[in-house]
Amino acid sequence: MFAYNREKALAYAREWAMKRNPAYLNFDNLGGDCTNFASQCLYAGSGVMNPTQIYGWYYYSSSKRTASWTGVPYLYNFLTGNKGVGPFAQEVDASAVEPGDIIQLGRADGTFYHSPVIVAISDDEIYVAAHTFDAYMRPLSTYEYDQARYLHILGVRNW
């Protein structure tokens, strides 16, 4: 196990929040690009994907990827349940997150639909970067949502 490199994840978020990395398909017109962008940031900070078919976390091409790379609930399931290679996370309270962690926003019915990346915390305000509705240093308080879950990246496994 090794540490998640938050600085690399944040540098990636800063570089690509307002544009698209041509190495990845833009999912804006295919349900949204937010979790794709969050996964790219996570990959920048972890340096390793989980190649396990179906339940892993990888992107090799638009047709060779896991649902967890681009789907909000699948990323949550991967990060909180991952016992193998790649990043892993724990759901925590808002007070326990750090820049480089992921927030998922949801509706009252329990459906989560957005995965912004935390890029800063200042004066009790969380600032995020996101795709689909591109943002960098957007205050979380400017979003409308019914609930949020906070995913604190605990580390990365490479075995």
Q: What is the pLDDT along the chain (159 residues), one digit of tens a residue?
A: 899 999 999 999 999 999 999 999 999 999 899 999 999 999 999 999 999 999 999 999 999 999 999 999 999 999 999 999 999 999 999 999 999 999 999 999 999 999 999 999 999 999 999 999 999 999 999 999 999 999 999 999 987
Is the pTM for the entire model greater than 0.85? yes
What pLDDT was estimated at residue 159?
Answer: 75
What pLDDT was estimated at residue 83?
Answer: 96
Q: Are 114 and 60 in contact (CB under 8 A)?
A: no
What pLDDT was estimated at residue 150?
Answer: 98
